[in-house]
Amino acid sequence: DTEVTQTPKHLVMGMTNKKSLKCEQHMGHRAMYWYKQKAKKPPELMFVYSYEKLSINESVPSRFSPECPNSSLLNLHLHALQPEDSALYLCASSQGPENGYTFGSGTRLTVV
């Protein structure tokens, strides 16, 4: 298995909803990432989980919270989002810096 699987592919949620995005990989990669990508912009790093340690981009608001239940799964919990949070959310993993990234197909999130 050489893929990063993201679910769901599309999500529409209201500003008062709570939802979660799921990311899974079975390549034994030691680091997993969440990125946010707005239209016509490069991806922006939100969170990194590597060696059981979470690193956070300090500009990410607290309405986004990551969770790593095990080394193969990385969830992103969403609560009280704003319309400007609508974007493509990408998950990636890597075995190590020398191996580069493997990305999932993304979740298209729309906040209404």
Whether 84 and 24 have beta carbons less than 8 Å apart is answered as: no
Shortest distance (Å) from residue 103 CB to another protein = 4
Which are the contacts of 53, defined by CB distance < 8 A and separation ≥ 6? none
As given in the structure block, the two tokens for residue 20 are: 């979660």
Tell me whether residue 31 or residue 78 sits nearer to another protein (CB atom). Answer: 31
From candidates 11, 45, 68, 80, binder to another protein by CB under 8 A:
45
Tell me whether residue 60 or residue 80 sits nearer to another protein (CB atom). Answer: 60
Quick one: which segment of 12-20, 62-70, 79-87, 91-99 binds another protein (CB under 8 A)?
A: 91-99
Handedness of CA 85, 23, 9, 4 (dihedral sign): positive
Q: Does 106 bind another protein (CB under 8 A)?
A: yes
Tell me whether residue 31 or residue 76 sits nearer to another protein (CB atom). Answer: 31
As given in the structure block, the two tokens for residue 44 are: 């922006």
Shortest distance (Å) from residue 40 CB to another protein = 8
Backbone angles phi, psi at 32, to 5 degrees: -135, 150
